Amino acid sequence: MKAVAQAHTNIALIKYWGKRDEALFLPMNSSLSITLDRFYTTTGVQFCKDLSKDIFMLNGELVNEQELAKMTRFLDIIRNYAGVQEHAIINSTNKVPTAAGFASSASGYAAVAAASTKALGLELGGKELSMLARRGSGSATRSIFGGYVEWQKGEREDGSDSYAKQILGEKEWGLTILSVLLESKCKKVSSREGMKRTVETSPFYSGWLDTVEHDIYSAKEAIRNHDFDQLGKVSEANALKMHATMLGATPPFTYWQSGTLAVMERIQELREEGISAYFTIDAGPNVKVLCMPNDEERVRAALLHMSEVEDIYSCHPGPGITYLPE
């Protein structure tokens, strides 16, 4: 029983920030992302009855005990879902340069969910696959689909209505997402720990929840109308609100470094010069810049001139899950 699947990473425009259920990875709010063409994880899964435990290879090397324990917990959920006991060999390759500041957990868990269920002979639809991937990492919920994707937060306690769906296909509206790589100076707070601390201690968190569902509405309207400036404005404001919640946490924290602020300022200057460019930032110092393809070279040139910028990866909307020959 073996299968190979590929899943692409995604960038949230309206952020997932906070869980209402840590065990089931149920979010406090809905989120919206673009799946990217350039970065993905390819995973082969083989279940074998002779194995006494799971084996997890990542980029050709056995992972450490902590990563293996996380993957085994995820596979236990899949084994329970499929009603099997067998252990598995997981072989994943990330075409997601970790240094690029992309969380490969989104593409990683989505690829494992797809390959393992396929290897077990389950032909799951996107909704079921999305709910399974969610149990590995929240943002993986969205990587099952290509293009522009909404993860509906759902209301039910069992999470049976918390899954993603595609809003617009990857070929229906071409945007550019520039991943701007800054030198990273210090160990960051993981997104999992960061959102937990924020939910539990930040007085600004209620303000986040008061406005994020309207941001989802505005972003979906902008995508339907191909209104880039409306999408850019609501995405940039949403990212700033997410990061503002952390400053009120106990202890306070921020992911921003001097280079982060410098790029933010340069993007705002470009807008004053008449170029429609907007930024978003996740749980790290790196900045992702949204622009239309015909402005890509001017935005890239302006940013590459900055001493703080180490590299820039150009991405566009990409596909959802694909199954590859074994």
Ligand X SMILES: O=C(O)C[C@@](O)(CF)CCOP(=O)(O)OP(=O)(O)O
Closest CB 308 distance from ligand X, rounded Å: 20
Residues 6 or more apart in contact with residue 193 via CB below 8 angstroms = none
Q: Helix 105-119 crosses helix 126-134 at what angle (to 10 degrees)?
A: 120
Q: Helix 191-201 crosses helix 228-247 at what angle (to 10 degrees)?
A: 70
By C-beta, is 28 or 122 nearer to ligand X?
28
Q: Does 137 bind ligand X (CB under 6 A)?
A: yes
**Selected range binding ligand X among 8-16, 174-182, 204-212, 215-223, rule: CB under 6 A:** 8-16
Q: Does 16 bind ligand X (CB under 6 A)?
A: yes
Question: Which residue type, as a one-letter code, is found at position 220?
Answer: K
Start-to-end CA span in the chain (Å): 10
d(CA 280, CA 72): 33
Closest CB 301 distance from ligand X, rounded Å: 28
Closest CB 99 distance from ligand X, rounded Å: 17
Residues 6 or more apart in contact with residue 77 via CB below 8 angstroms = 132, 135
Instruction: Answer positive or negative: Cα dihedral of 12, 292, 285, 198.
Output: negative
**Selected range binding ligand X among 10-18, 52-60, 94-102, 294-302, rule: CB under 6 A:** 10-18
Q: Tell me the pairing of strands 87-95 and 31-48.
A: antiparallel
**Selected range binding ligand X among 47-55, 135-143, 198-206, 297-305, rule: CB under 6 A:** 135-143
**Selected range binding ligand X among 11-19, 65-73, 222-230, 315-323, rule: CB under 6 A:** 11-19
By C-beta, is 21 or 326 nearer to ligand X?
21
Q: Does 15 bind ligand X (CB under 6 A)?
A: yes
**Selected range binding ligand X among 132-140, 181-189, 226-234, 292-300, rule: CB under 6 A:** 132-140
User: Measured at CB, which residue is nearest to ligand X?
Assistant: 138
Among the listed residues 105, 116, 166, 260, the single contact to ligand X using CB under 6 A? 105
Q: Helix 105-119 crosses helix 65-82 at what angle (to 10 degrees)?
A: 40
Closest CA relative to residue 290, chosen from 237, 243, 235, 240: 235
* Per-residue mark of binding to ligand X, 264-303 (x: CB under 6 A): ------------------xx--------------------
Closest CB 284 distance from ligand X, rounded Å: 8
Among the listed residues 6, 9, 30, 31, the single contact to ligand X using CB under 6 A? 31
DSSP string, 48-82: ETT-SS-EEEETTEEPPHHHHHHHHHHHHHHHHHH
Among the listed residues 29, 139, 202, 218, the single contact to ligand X using CB under 6 A? 139
* Per-residue mark of binding to ligand X, 141-180 (x: CB under 6 A): ----------------------------------------
Q: Does 92 bind ligand X (CB under 6 A)?
A: no
Among the listed residues 5, 103, 132, 234, the single contact to ligand X using CB under 6 A? 103
By C-beta, is 24 or 89 nearer to ligand X?
24
Q: Does 192 bind ligand X (CB under 6 A)?
A: yes
Burial call 57-89: b when 16+ CB within 10 Å, e when fewer = ebeeeebeeeebebbbebbeebbebbeeebbbe
d(CA 222, CA 124): 31
d(CA 291, CA 312): 14
d(CA 295, CA 304): 14
Binding site for ligand X (CB under 6 A): 12, 15-17, 25, 31, 103, 105, 137-139, 191-192, 282-283
